[in-house]
Amino acid sequence: MPELTEDITEEDTRVYEFCFLYPCTLSQKEESEFLKEIEKIIEETGAKQVSKDLWGKRGLAYRIKGHDEGNYVVYHYEMKPRAIIDIDTPLRITPNVLRHIVVKPPKGYEVTNFSEGFVQWLKDRENAVDEKKKEKEEKLAKRVAEKAKRQVKRVAAKKEEEVAADKPKTDKKQISDELDKLISDDDLDL
C-alpha cells in the first residue's frame, strides 16, 4: 500500500470497503476463526462493521500461493481514515490472507450485497434455461403432433385406396350388355 501523506486529517469517519481472498481449502472452523481474526484486526482501530458479504468460492485467473480457487469476503467498515495505516501491516502478515485490498468508495456509494444479487442472477439464468428448454420441448411436441397428423392422413388415404380396390370393378359395357339381355329376353312378362 502506498505511503499515506500528512494531508489525511482526523476528520469524520468514512466507509471503506475491504476485500479478502483466502484459501477455499480451510475447514468451516478454520474459516470462521480466520474471519473473526480479520474482523478483530479491523475493529481494534475503532471501526464499526457496516456489512459483511461472503462471496464464496471462485476460480482465480492465475495461481496464488499454489491455489487455483479461493473464497472471497467483502466487508464495509465505517472508520477514521488514519486507521487504515494501522490495519495494513497486520493484514499483510495474517496467515491465510492470499490477497486483500482496501478501497474508499466514491461519495454517494450505496453498500450492496453482491452475493445475494449473484444468487438471484443464478436463479434468473436457471429460469431462462428452463424456459428455453420448455420452448424447445413445446416445439418438438408440436412437430411430433404435426407428423402424427400427416401420418394419420396418409393411413386414411391408403385405407380409402384399399377400400376402392376391394370394391368389385364394374364395367359399363358389361352392365349395358346385361341390361340388353334382360330387355331382349322374351320370357319376361311386362
- Pair 120, 150 in one domain: yes
- Pair 88, 157 in one domain: no
- Pair 88, 134 in one domain: no
Residues 85-99 have pLDDT tens digits of 888 889 888 888 999
Instruction: Please identify, among 53, 71, 105, the residue that sits at the C-terminal boundary of a domain.
Output: 105
Supply the pTM of this predicted model.
0.56
- Pair 33, 99 in one domain: yes
End-to-end CA distance of the chain: 130
- Pair 53, 94 in one domain: yes
Q: Which residue has the higher pLDDT, 105 or 118?
A: 105
Residues 49-75 have pLDDT tens digits of 988 888 888 888 999 888 899 999 999
Residue 173 lies in a domain: no
Q: Which domain holds residue 155?
A: 113-166
- Pair 30, 47 in one domain: yes
Do the beta carbons of residue 39 and residue 75 sit within 8 Å? yes
Distance CA 125, CA 127 (A): 5
Residue 36 lies in a domain: yes
The total domain count for the chain is 2
